[in-house]
Homo-oligomer: A and B are copies of this chain.
Amino acid sequence: MPDLALSSAATALQIRRASRAGVLTGHTSGLAAAHVQANLAILPAAQAADFQRFCDLNPQACPLLAVTSPGDTAVPALGADLDLRSDVPRYRVWRDGELVDEPNDVGRWWRDDLVTFAIGCSFSFEHALLAEGIALRHVEQGRNVAMYRSAIPTRAAGPFHGPTVVSMRPLRAADAIRAVQITSRLPQVHGAPLHIGDPSLIGIHDLARPDYGDAIELRPDELPVFWACGVTPQAAIATARLPFCITHAPGHMLVTDLLNRELLGH
């Protein structure tokens, strides 16, 4: 019998508790669909100020939803009864830039100097696009979105630098225009597109070979529309080869109590 608690209609707290209990270990796409999901970057306080500056300098790629004090395991602004050590279905633990563990719980890795950055995620703006009747092919096809390392540089801060990673969704022009309108109202989850049209103008030479995610067909009557992507901070963290850090595993997000419609202000 399927666990009805782990559905699009679940509450955010049900999803977090299922992660905490080890019942949910898969990705969170489509779960508790009304709720904002967040990318996590958990860094030692020694690197936190630089990373905060990196996010502030690159707000479209790294829109901050919340930042904790060192050692905090709760984030009341994002949810009641929320434990950062266990409420994500799968984490990644890094030492000197190398992946050393991929646990469902990071209690054994936790440190009192860890600062957590919760960063907005495109699931929220995709929810808004779908709610406005704009079809998204990768969603229809059950694939991951196509992502590329673009030639658009981020603005560096301390050890954090690198390319802006962009996600691409193929849209017909009228939908691309509406998508600009809708996502412009959602700066906390990447905001408006960075680029529309010719991929080579932003250093992408083969749409069929994304750097992350799945290739998605572009039809002759469509424009490729590119948004800044939450993989950008992950790539910058990897480049920085920090002595220690924790991130969520791709697609395994923190489900917050925030509602997507609250981001739209209605």
Please report A residues at the B interface, Cβ cutoff 8 Å.
Answer: 173-174, 176-177, 180-181, 184, 192-198, 201, 221, 223
Contact = CB atoms under 8 A, between A and B. Distances in A.
B193 A221 contact: no
A184 B196 CA distance: 17
16 contacts: A173-B195, A173-B196, A174-B194, A177-B180, A177-B192, A177-B194, A177-B195, A177-B196, A180-B180, A180-B181, A180-B184, A181-B181, A181-B192, A184-B184, A197-B223, A201-B221
Contacts of A196: 173, 176-177, 196-197, 223
B197 A173 contact: yes
A197 B176 CA distance: 10
B192 A173 contact: no
Contacts of A177: 180, 192-196
Contacts of A201: 173, 221
Nearest to A223: B197
A182 to B, nearest CB: 10
A223 B177 CA distance: 13
Given A180-B180, A197-B223, A198-B221, 12 more contacts: A173-B195, A173-B196, A173-B198, A173-B201, A174-B194, A177-B193, A177-B196, A180-B181, A181-B181, A181-B184, A196-B196, A201-B221
A173 B177 CA distance: 12
A193 B181 CA distance: 11
Nearest to A180: B180
Contacts of A193: 177
Contacts of A192: 177, 181
9 shortest interchain CB distances as A-B pairs? A180-B180, A173-B196, A173-B195, A181-B184, A197-B223, A173-B197, A177-B192, A177-B180, A177-B193
